[in-house]
Amino acid sequence: MANLLIVAADENLVFLFRHVFGEHEIRSARDAPEAVEAVHTQRPDLVVMDVRGPGTEDLDALRAIRLASPDQLIIVMTAYGTAQIAVEAIKHGAHDYLFKPFDVGQLRQLVAEALEIAAQRSAARLPLPAVERPAPAGMIGASPAMQEVYRTIGKVAPSDLTVLITGESGTGKELVARMIHEHSRRADKPFLALNCAAIPEPLLESELFGYERGAFTGALHRKLGKLEVCNGGTLFLDEIGDMSPALQTKMLRVLQDGTFERIGGTETMDVDVRILAATNRNLVELMREGRFRDDLYYRLKVVPIHVPPLRERGDDLVLLARHFLQRARDELQRPGLSLSNAALEVLKAYSWPGNVRELENVIKGAALTCPGVIILPEHLAVTAPRGTGRTGPDPAAAGTAAKETLQKLLEPVFAYFHDLYQAGQRVEPFDRIEEVMLRKALAAVEGNQSHAAKLLGITRTTLRKRMAKYGIVVRQQVE
Ligand SMILES: Nc1ncnc2c1ncn2[C@@H]1O[C@H](COP(=O)(O)OP(=O)(O)OP(=O)(O)O)[C@@H](O)[C@H]1O
Ligand SMILES: [Mg+2]
C-alpha cells in the first residue's frame, strides 16, 4: 500500500481517486498551503495535483512543494491542454502530467509507474534537478505527439545540452528552439538564429565567427560574429544540413571546446554559447553521402527532438486554426470573423505538406480575402485534399445533410406556428423565416447588399424589395 496525496480544489476528483485507488491510502489537500503542510507531515510516496491553468495559484503549489521537499514525486493533471502548463510542470520538477479528460486506465498506469520510481528512489535516494523560475511559452497543441515534445523540452531546457530538432518544413522547429531558450538559465541572454541554407557560404562563416579588419577586401572594421554576440546565450543553427564541410569542422571545435578564431585573426576566442540545431533534411543520408560529418552529427544529436507533422496531430489542427483566426481578428480588427463548418471540414481533410506555417498562411489569406465575416471553403487557398481530387465536401451529400439538419431545427419553430394557428391567430411562417434569413445574411457580410444577395441566391433587386417589405435598414457600406 502506498501513500498518495491528491491536491485538488475539486471534491469530485478526490472522490474519483478514493474510488480508483482503493488499495492505497489517499489523503487530500485543497490548496498550496495545505499541500505543503501535508507533504511535510505525511511524506506521501506520490502527489497528484490538479492544475487549473496558468496564472492560477495551482502552479505555485507545485513550486512550493518542490522548494520545501525537492525530491517529492509529483504528477500534474490539467484540463488546460497547452504547452505552457506541460513545460512548466516538467520544468518545475513534476514527474509527468496528464491532460484531462483521461481514462482511468491511463491514470492507473501513470500512477503505477510513478510509485515504482518512488520505491526505487527511496532505496537509492536520488535527488531531482533544482527548481527553475517560470518563463513564457507559445506553442499550441495538446496531441500526444506534441505532449512528448513538451516533455523533452521541459527536461532538456535547464541543461546546457545540445539539441538537434528535426521535422518537416513549417512544423515549428524554431519555436521549439525558442522555448528551450526561454525556459533555460540563459533566458535573459540573447537568442540568435542563423539559417545556414539562406546565407551563402563565405557570408555564413563571417556571420558565425566574425572577422578582423583587413581579413579580406572590404573588411574595413573588425566585426563580431554571432557566436561572440550571443555569448552566454543560445545560438540556433537552422538548416544545419546545408552547412559546408569546412564550416562543419569549425563548428565541431566550438561544440567541443567553445573556441574559435575570427576570420583573419590569430587570437583564440572562448565563448559560452549553447547550440541548438535544426534540419528538415535527413542527416543520416547526408552522412552516408559524405556531406555531413558523423562526429558533428553525434555531437549535435545528444538530445534529439522530432517535431511531428501537422497531419499527425489530430485535433491540434482545430486549436491552431482557432488560434490563427483569433490573431487575424485582432490584426484586422474584425472581431466577428469566424470559420464556417464547411471550411473547417476542408481544413481537416487537407494533408498540410507545409504544416503549421501553411495553416497560418491559409487562415491569414482567408481572413483577408473573405468579404464577410464568415470564412467559407472558397476563401481557403488549399489545393486538393488528401487522396481525392476535390477541394471541398461533396455538394450532393452536403445538400442531403443540410436538409436533414434543417428538418430537425425547424421542428420547434413549426410547433410554435402550429400552436398559434390552433389558438386562432393569423400566422405567416414563410415571412418570419424569410425576414430572419435576410437579417442574418446581411449581418454575415457586414451589410454588403451584393454579397448578401449572392449568399441568399437572389438578385439585388429582389433583396432590396424584401428588405423594404420587412423594414430592414442597413448602414451604408463604404466601398
Ligand atoms: N505549435 C504551434 N503553435 C503556434 N504556432 C506555431 C506552432 N508551430 C509553429 N507555429 C508557427 O508556425 C510558423 C512556422 O514555425 P517555425 O518557423 O518554428 O517552423 P520551422 O519548422 O522552423 O519551419 P522551416 O522548416 O520552414 O524553417 C511560425 O510562424 C510559428 O510561430
Ligand atoms: Mg525554421
pLDDT in tens, the chain (479 residues): 889 999 988 888 888 888 888 888 999 998 878 888 888 788 899 999 998 877 777 777 788 787 777 778 899 888 766 777 778 788 877 888 888 777 888 888 889 888 887 777 665 543 333 333 232 347 888 888 998 899 999 999 999 999 999 999 999 999 999 999 999 999 999 899 999 988 888 889 999 999 999 888 888 888 889 999 889 999 999 999 999 999 999 999 999 999 999 999 999 999 999 999 999 999 999 999 999 999 999 999 889 999 999 999 999 999 999 999 999 988 888 888 899 988 999 999 999 999 999 999 999 999 988 888 889 998 998 864 444 444 444 555 556 656 666 766 676 677 777 777 877 778 788 888 888 889 888 888 888 888 889 889 898 999 999 998 888 887 654 43
> Do 123 and 183 share a domain, yes or no?
no
Domain's final residue, options 142, 172, 205: 142
> Do 84 and 194 share a domain, yes or no?
no
**Residue 407 falls inside a structural domain:** no
Of ligand 1's listed atoms, the one at least distance from the Cα of 280 is 25
Residue identifier of the C-alpha nearest atom 23 of ligand 1: 170
Distance 354 CA to ligand 1 centre (A): 10
State the residue range of the domain holding 293: 159-308
> Do 125 and 172 share a domain, yes or no?
no
Ligand that lies nearest to the alpha carbon of residue 307, given by its number in the listed order: 1
Structure confidence at residue 243 (pLDDT)? 94
Distance 309 CA to ligand 2 centre (A): 14
Find out whether 346 and 392 touch, Cβ atoms under 8 Å. yes
Q: Which three cell numbers stand for residue 74?
A: 509529483
Structure confidence at residue 125 (pLDDT)? 46
> Do 291 and 319 share a domain, yes or no?
no
Q: Which of 191, 357, 359 to mutate to test the pocket of ligand 1 (most atoms within 8 A of CB)?
A: 357
Of ligand 1's listed atoms, the one at least distance from the Cα of 174 is 18
> Do 342 and 434 share a domain, yes or no?
no
Structure confidence at residue 394 (pLDDT)? 53
Here the CATH number for the domain that contains residue 187 is: 3.40.50.300
Taking residue 242's Cβ as centre, other Cβ atoms within 10 Å add up to: 20
* Long-range own/partner contacts, residues 313-317 (CB < 8 A, 24 or more apart): 313/141, 313/143, 313/145, 313/146, 314/143, 315/142, 315/143, 316/140, 316/141, 316/142, 316/143, 316/146, 317/347, 317/348, 317/352, 317/359
**Residue 395 falls inside a structural domain:** no
Number of independent structural domains in the chain: 4
Distance 171 CA to ligand 2 centre (A): 8
Of ligand 1's listed atoms, the one at least distance from the Cα of 360 is 12
Distance 115 CA to ligand 2 centre (A): 40
**Residue 148 falls inside a structural domain:** no
> Do 301 and 330 share a domain, yes or no?
no
**Residue 403 falls inside a structural domain:** no
> Do 30 and 127 share a domain, yes or no?
yes
> Do 164 and 302 share a domain, yes or no?
yes
Phi-psi region of 218 (alpha: psi -120 to 50; beta: other; left: phi over 0): left
Ligand that lies nearest to the alpha carbon of residue 357, given by its number in the listed order: 1
> Do 289 and 316 share a domain, yes or no?
no
Distance 199 CA to ligand 2 centre (A): 14
Helix, coil or strand: residue 28: strand
Here the CATH number for the domain that contains residue 333 is: 1.10.8.60
> Do 17 and 69 share a domain, yes or no?
yes
Angle at which helix 449-456 crosses helix 429-444, to 10 degrees, equals 130
Distance 405 CA to ligand 2 centre (A): 44
Q: How far is CA 364 from the centre of its chain?
A: 17
Element at 164 (helix H, strand E): strand 163-166
Here the CATH number for the domain that contains residue 461 is: 1.10.10.60
> Do 241 and 169 share a domain, yes or no?
yes
**Residue 409 falls inside a structural domain:** no
Structure confidence at residue 123 (pLDDT)? 59
Ligand that lies nearest to the alpha carbon of residue 168, given by its number in the listed order: 1
> Do 166 and 252 share a domain, yes or no?
yes
Ligand that lies nearest to the alpha carbon of residue 86, given by its number in the listed order: 1
Domain's final residue, options 115, 142, 169: 142
* Long-range own/partner contacts, residues 419-423 (CB < 8 A, 24 or more apart): none
Residues within a 6 A CB radius of ligand 1 = 139-141, 167, 169-175, 238, 280, 320, 356-357, 360
Domain's final residue, options 109, 142, 175: 142
Distance 433 CA to ligand 1 centre (A): 45
pTM: 0.62
